[in-house]
Chain A
Amino acid sequence: MPSAPTDGWSSALYAPLRRRMVENGDWDRISARLARELNESGWIDRFRDLSKEMARRAEATGGVSVETLMTELWPQAEGEVPVGIRLEIIGVIRKLLERQIEF
């Protein structure tokens, strides 16, 4: 899972910026928009099905934990986010940050 940057000037800004986004609701708004777009593109259903069928197949051999499923599917999930959606959300975040930071 992507973690906060640990070096450079961005790491000093990351935590307070993130906190502000969560506190004033921007985080939830952007998150909801991303979820809506991913649902319409079929991404959510694809990974709902992949993870469920993977868990079903693993039942014969004792089952698989949620964390294992996440680790196995994460790279594919990240890779399959449609380019258009990725760029759009990055754009939204960028616009939001530009209003708040002096670059």
Chain B
Amino acid sequence: MALSRPYACLHCPTACCWSDGHIKQHLQDTGHDFCADVKTGYVFCIECDDFVYDSVFHRLYKTTMIAEEEKATAFETSKRLREPYTPWEPNARERAALEGTVAAPCQGRRGLLNLGQTCFMNVILQSFIANPLLRNYYLSDKHNSRLCKLKDCTSCEMDKLLAEVYSENSAPYGPIDLLAKMWRISSELSGYAQQDAHEFFITALNHIHATSRGSTSLQCICIIHSTFAGLLQSDVKCERCGKVAEKTDPMLDISLELKGDTSGEQDLTLASCLRWYTHPEKLGPNEYSCEKCGKASHASKRLSIRKLPPVLSFQFKRFEHKSVDKSAARKIEAPVRFPSSLNMAPFTTLVMHKQELLKDNGTASASLIPDTALGPEALYDYDLFAVVCHEGQIDNGHYTCFARSHDEWYRYDDDKVTHTTLSACLNSQAYMCFYVKRHLDYKPWMTPSYMLIREQAAAKEKEREREKEAARMREVEDELLAAI
């Protein structure tokens, strides 16, 4: 029997629909207690006459789904399957280490004091605090500010900030040292004038990258790049011979022009802005000369996302600078609708190329589900965790932000933190939105690079010790010989 939305009895192999009470009838008839909605994993109890939550069921459902998804995804080049996820279980040594520890709170929220028009900095810091990857990195001591010897280390400031937020103290915190360091390193940020939050965001990312472990200028694997870096691909297609020139560029975030699908202002959505961002743009006849057919020709350029970062940051270009003079700019107030969950598949290079292929072959523009070569849809899902808002004029405005803590939303207005709703967040006028990937991907069967580096460093240290010892021995021998 083909059910579009099956509810599976948890006691026998029966599955029924929810509608018209079919599954409930089965439970009543048989005396079975529980059934589950296959699509969501939610469990229904006939005694409670309601859906019930249990962490064991929740965990079991999640691990089962992931195991099935892993079997259905193969890497393109190596053709190997994904490494199966195994939850962490402490070994004997780890369990002993955990014995004497004091549990830290798993939630941390503190307002940030405005130190003089610093709301632009506070909202970005709150987005960092709410960022699960950054938060986990610093809370797990990956950059210990008490041991770091770097001068003007911004990564240390992040460590201190996270420690303050997750301390027992919930009073508003003033990030004075961080501000002072940022002023010292980037003089354009100094002074008490209002700054642009997005500029501060990029500047802060670059500072933290420069002072974090693993920082390199190419293919950097520092915490900032591991979290925010994606790859943008631009395809330039020669209209004459059809040759496509591909070029990739790294990116830390995406700046979107405010564009709706039609001319009306009503339909400004994050998705419509992304469609505009990735739409084929006609280049003028003299803007491009094709490598293959060698002539200056009509061409079209198309952007797509080749590699999705774990954290996707969007900026809506609300501030139009008419000239270099910042005061001659205007602010675009139009609200943009953005979702709490976002699927990025339609904007990725892989999917966009597949869609082009289908169009060329004349296949009806069917949905691409299911297509195992593209991976399960879940790999493209993102969840909103922070929104930066700006009210007022360009140089006379105020920044506030919304950030999610587990499933609850909070509004941050400098030192004032208030519990709010998803609806309040989504109805605000967003300037920046931050999304985090629901399922992280990993290169399979690899030792993490930080472990390799540690092993290499330990090996080098041993070698150095050995040489020192050998040199000392030689000195002793020489002295003995000289004495003879």
Chain A residues within CB distance 8 Å of chain B: 1, 3, 18-19, 22-23, 25, 27-29, 31-33, 36, 39-42, 44-46, 48-50, 52-53, 65-67
Contacts and interface: CB of A to CB of B under 8 A. Distances in A.
B366 A29 contact: yes
Contacts of A33: 367
A40 to B, nearest CB: 5
B337 A42 contact: yes
A1 B422 contact: no
A32 B369 CA distance: 9
A45 B50 contact: no
Interface string B366-401: 110110000001000000000000000000000000
Contacts of A36: 343
Interface string B409-435: 000000000000111001000000000
B120 to A, nearest CB: 27
Nearest to B367: A29
Contacts of B337: 40-42
Nearest to A36: B343
Contacts of B423: 45-46, 49-50, 53
B484 interface: no
A33 B50 CA distance: 29
A50 B341 CA distance: 16
27 contacts: A1-B19, A1-B20, A3-B20, A18-B4, A19-B1, A22-B2, A22-B4, A28-B4, A29-B366, A31-B4, A32-B369, A32-B377, A42-B337, A42-B339, A42-B426, A44-B339, A44-B341, A45-B339, A45-B422, A45-B426, A46-B423, A48-B422, A49-B426, A50-B423, A65-B50, A65-B51, A66-B51
Nearest to B2: A22
A40 B2 CA distance: 29
B369 A28 contact: yes
Contact of A65 (B3, B49, B343, B367): B49
Interface string B268-290: 01010000000000000000000
B370 A25 contact: yes
Contact of A53 (B3, B4, B49, B421): B421
A40 B271 contact: yes
Contacts of A32: 367, 369, 377
B194 to A, nearest CB: 31
B366 A40 contact: no
A14 B423 CA distance: 38
Nearest to B50: A65
A1 B5 CA distance: 13
A41 B338 CA distance: 9
A66 B269 CA distance: 30
B340 interface: yes
Contacts of B340: 45, 48
Interface string B3-21: 1100000000000001110
A23 B1 CA distance: 9
Contacts of B343: 36
A57 to B, nearest CB: 11
A66 B102 CA distance: 38
Contacts of B339: 39-40, 42, 44-45
Nearest to A23: B2
Given A28-B369, A42-B337, A65-B49, A49 B2 contact: no
**Nearest 10 pairs of A and B residues by beta carbon:** A22-B2, A49-B423, A65-B50, A49-B422, A29-B367, A19-B2, A66-B51, A1-B19, A40-B271, A22-B4
Contact of B4 (A27, A66, A67): A27
Contacts of B50: 65-67
Contacts of B369: 25, 28-29, 32
Nearest to A84: B267
Nearest to A19: B2
The CB with the most chain B CB atoms within 10 A, among A46, A65, A67, is that of: A67
A103 to B, nearest CB: 21
Interface in B321-341: 337, 339-341
A28 B367 CA distance: 10
Contacts of A23: 2
A50 B4 CA distance: 26
B197 to A, nearest CB: 24
A25 B368 CA distance: 11
A33 B426 CA distance: 22
A39 B341 contact: yes
Given A1-B20, A40-B269, A45-B423, 6 more contacts: A1-B18, A19-B2, A25-B369, A49-B426, A65-B50, A65-B51
Nearest to A40: B271
A27 B5 CA distance: 10
Nearest to B51: A66
A31 B50 CA distance: 25
Nearest to B272: A40
Contacts of B19: 1, 3
